[in-house]
């Protein structure tokens, strides 16, 4: 989920902690827990420092070790150690447990969306994602806003007990419907290698990717109706260039972050553009998250770009910069 959503969850957990009388009767501990749940709800994303080492490092490491099972208690201990000295009269056990809950919830929420995490490290580097929450879920945000608006009228702990029970029921419904729809599609596409569900805002609407040995089918599924909008064949032009481009360090790091990158090759007068587009993310038939590699006609020079393109103008600027950089 995005940073704002994680902050809102941290505030919500700080409010929920008021159901514990040890916390509600100790103002210093209440403040420490609130700070701790907000920081803990964002702690696994402190791996943003990899951005300073370049996009390649960020793609390779984000949501890796920082979102793994061993990291959950480690983040909790570090956050508790950073906060407790400012509230020496507080209960360190209560502070740690609520921070642990906040960190755990962060990792779970990231596991629920299409990006997923490498939660099984160090046992496996496989990316896991349950695909039933959008990256930003307005219903969860609205539930928290409802809870905050009710605080002047009702007890804080009781309000957020109700809010989190309602949220649990909402998550359960989304999970069940997603798994049932995925099973239904798998039964229909029996030759599919993978079926990827990409949740939209509504619990009953998805973009879908169906991978077979021959192609990727890209479409949408809503209320029992399936539409296939694109078919991308795995038989691409210039396969040698595609393979070479996948060995580029930046492109290779990008490919580590997704199993649904599709290559396109475009020949121009000055060279070849190889695009690796992440099919999981689409905005108005535009795939903004990608890696681009430009190779000169004589194959002697190459440059690359990885990242997210925010508009067609941004895309054109990137293409022009790559093309002119090796002339």
Residue with tokens 């479409």: 219
Nearest to 264 by CA among 237, 285, 228: 237
Mean pLDDT across the chain = 90
- 119 or 98: which carries more pLDDT confidence? 98
Token pair in block for residue 281:
């993310």
Cα 289 from Cα 292, distance rounded (Å): 10
pLDDT digits (tens, 9 = 90+) for 268-303: 888 999 999 999 888 777 888 999 999 998 888 889
Cα 294 from Cα 292, distance rounded (Å): 7
Q: In the predicted model, what is the mean pLDDT of residues 264-269?
A: 90
Q: Who contacts 316 (Cβ-Cβ below 8 Å, separation ≥6)?
A: none
Q: What are phi and psi of 190, to 5 degrees?
A: -70, -20
Indicate the pLDDT class of residue 307, thresholds 50, 70 and 90: confident
Range in 6-20, 58-72, 141-155 the model is least confident about: 58-72
Assess whether pLDDT exceeds 80 at residue 312: yes
pLDDT of 122 reads: 86
- Alpha helices, DSSP H, located in the chain: 3-16, 21-24, 27-40, 55-61, 71-83, 92-112, 138-150, 156-188, 239-246, 249-256, 312-325
Tally the residues of the chain: 327
User: Hey, where are the domains in the chain?
Assistant: 3-175, 192-233, 239-325
Indicate the pLDDT class of residue 54, thresholds 50, 70 and 90: low
Q: Tell me whether the omega of the peptide bond preceding residue 122 falls within 30 degrees of 0, making it cis.
A: yes
Assess whether pLDDT exceeds 90 at residue 250: no
Cα angle: 269, vertex 317, 231; to 5 degrees: 70
Q: What is the DSSP letter of 232?
A: E
pLDDT digits (tens, 9 = 90+) for 99-151: 999 999 999 999 999 888 888 888 888 888 999 999 899 999 999 999 999 99
CA of 72: how far to CAs of 61, 66, 77, 102, in Å?
16, 8, 9, 10
Q: Who contacts 81 (Cβ-Cβ below 8 Å, separation ≥6)?
A: none
The alpha carbons of the chain give a radius of gyration, in whole angstroms, of: 23
Q: In the predicted model, what is the mean pLDDT of residues 34-40?
A: 97
Q: Is 277 helix (H, G, I), strand (E, B) or coil?
A: strand
* 179 and 195 Cβ atoms separated by less than 8 Å: no
Neighbouring CB atoms inside 10 A of 258's CB total 21
Nearest to 103 by CA among 165, 28, 49, 38: 38
């Amino acid at each position: 989920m995005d940073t704002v959503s994680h902050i809102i969850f941290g505030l919500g957990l700080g409010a929920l902690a008021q159901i514990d009388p040890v916390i509600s009767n100790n103002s210093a501990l209440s403040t420490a827990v609130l700070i701790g749940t907000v920081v803990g709800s964002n702690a696994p994303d402190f791996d943003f420092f990899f951005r300073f080492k370049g996009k390649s490092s960020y793609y390779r490491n984000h949501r890796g070790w920082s979102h793994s099972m061993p990291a959950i208690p480690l983040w909790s201990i570090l956050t508790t150690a950073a906060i407790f000295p400012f509230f020496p009269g507080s209960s360190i056990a209560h502070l740690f447990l609520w921070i642990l809950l906040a960190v755990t919830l962060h990792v779970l929420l990231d596991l629920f969306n299409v990006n997923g995490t490498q939660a099984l490290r160090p046992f496996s580097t496989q990316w896991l994602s349950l695909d039933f929450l959008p990256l930003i879920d307005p219903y969860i945000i609205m539930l928290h806003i409802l809870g905050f608006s009710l605080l002047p009228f009702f007890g804080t702990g009781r309000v957020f007990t109700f809010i989190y029970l309602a949220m649990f029921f909402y998550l359960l419904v989304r999970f069940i419907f997603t798994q049932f729809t995925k099973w239904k599609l798998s039964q229909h596409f029996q030759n599919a290698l993978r079926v990827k569900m990409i949740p939209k805002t509504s619990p009953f609407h998805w973009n879908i990717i169906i991978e077979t040995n021959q192609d990727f089918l890209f479409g949408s599924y809503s209320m029992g109706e399936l539409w296939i909008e694109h078919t991308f064949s795995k038989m691409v032009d210039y396969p040698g260039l595609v393979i070479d481009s996948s060995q580029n360090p930046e492109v290779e790091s990008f490919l580590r972050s997704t199993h649904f990158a599709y290559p396109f090759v475009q020949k121009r007068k000055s060279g070849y553009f190889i695009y690796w587009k992440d099919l999981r993310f689409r905005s108005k038939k535009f795939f903004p998250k990608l890696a681009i590699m430009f190779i000169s006609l004589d194959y002697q020079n190459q440059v690359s770009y990885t990242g997210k393109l925010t508009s067609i103008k941004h895309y054109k600027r990137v293409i022009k910069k790559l093309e002119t950089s090796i002339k």
